[in-house]
Amino acid sequence: MSMQVMRGWAARYAPRVGLIGLPLCLLGPVMQAAQAADYDGSPQVAEFVGEMTRDYGFAGEQLMGVFREAQRKQSILDAISRPAERVKQWKEYRPMFLTDARIARGVDFWRQHEAVLARAEQEYGVPAQVIVSIIGVETFYGRNTGSFRVIDALSTLGFDYPPRAEFFRKELREFLLLAREEQVDPLTLKGSYAGAMGLPQFMPSSFRAYAVDFDGDGHINIWSNPDDAIGSVASYFKQHGWVAGESVVIRADVTGDHADEGLTQGIEPVKTVGELRALGWSSHDALRDDRPVTAFRLEGSDGPEYWMGLKNFYAITRYNRSVMYAMAVHQLSDMLVQARGVK
């Protein structure tokens, strides 16, 4: 960031001048503007700013300047409070992501960024097609990255959504820290209604923990720099246990009346291949009996499908805790390889 831009940021959030000395004709509009600010004067915000000042060295008045411009968005509260949709079956979920358009655009994205993807695969051990698939599922390769200002999303949810206020205030703290570290104006960055950001939709805490400056320009930009987004996805997977060269998931055959007793409750791979074998599970791939797997069933278009997720499958679920999400990412990555080979 240039010194000129940094001075502009500082000037924007410099302490506001007092009201003394203002012409009376201007006093009314100034008071109205102060009253219109959604978070100016909020005890919660004042407490939060105090913590950021005490614990992280922020200038209190400058930070209050940010919150004077932050806006409470009812549309964000409506979105996060909306009743959950009926849980879709795999046969309904899969067609949402495995489309001809997403595959074609993914092949284009792969070709456009082939050298960077190859370098990420070499450095982190994460296949190029998996990185492309994640960005494709999350934002259609950058087409849908979110239109809310991140400061508005995290302020609204951190101060006006009690069920998860603690979580979103933590993300707000991480967001302000990353804005300071990257020397960017926090009022300019956009994301989803929940504050997920950029091509890979990282929450601020994930950004600070896993995002990387993959093009070496001194800043991490996952919003408009595909190089950094690609490297950051690879970094995330590597740090969540991705094992280079290993499979992701294996189709299982089941027999007998006890197969469903082997299904994993949750995501974590708690049952072993041997335990599943005793319940009627088998596969064409040779797996050691002591290998832990995530055992799950999906309702496909041709009936029930039984699967065993391996360590790399679990790594994908760390991005989004859903077996259907992980399967969509995996199968899209396979389709990208096939489509790229055809063309």
Residues identified as active-site: 138
Question: How many angstroms separate the CA atoms of 177 and 191, rounded?
Answer: 17
Of 148, 145, 153, 172, nearest in space to 226 by CA: 145
Which residues sit opposite 297 in a β-bridge? 306
| Residue 175, both tokens | 């967001």
103-114 exposure pattern, b = at least 16 Cβ within 10 A, e = fewer: bebbbebbeebe
8 Å CB contact between 275 and 245? no
Q: How far is CA 277 from the centre of its chain?
A: 36
Helix (H, G, I), strand (E, B) or coil at 295: strand
Q: Which residue has the tokens 């950021």?
A: 52
Question: How many angstroms separate the CA atoms of 256 and 303, rounded?
Answer: 17
Q: Is the dihedral of CA 23, 25, 26, 28 positive or negative?
A: positive
For residue 190, with 0-12 CB atoms within 10 Å meaning exposed, 13-18 middle and 19 or more buried, which class applies? middle
* β 303-309/249-254 pair status: antiparallel
Of 240, 250, 265, 202, nearest in space to 317 by CA: 240
DSSP 143-195: T----EEHHHHHHHHHHH-GGGHHHHHHHHHHHHHHHHHHT--TTT-EE-TT-
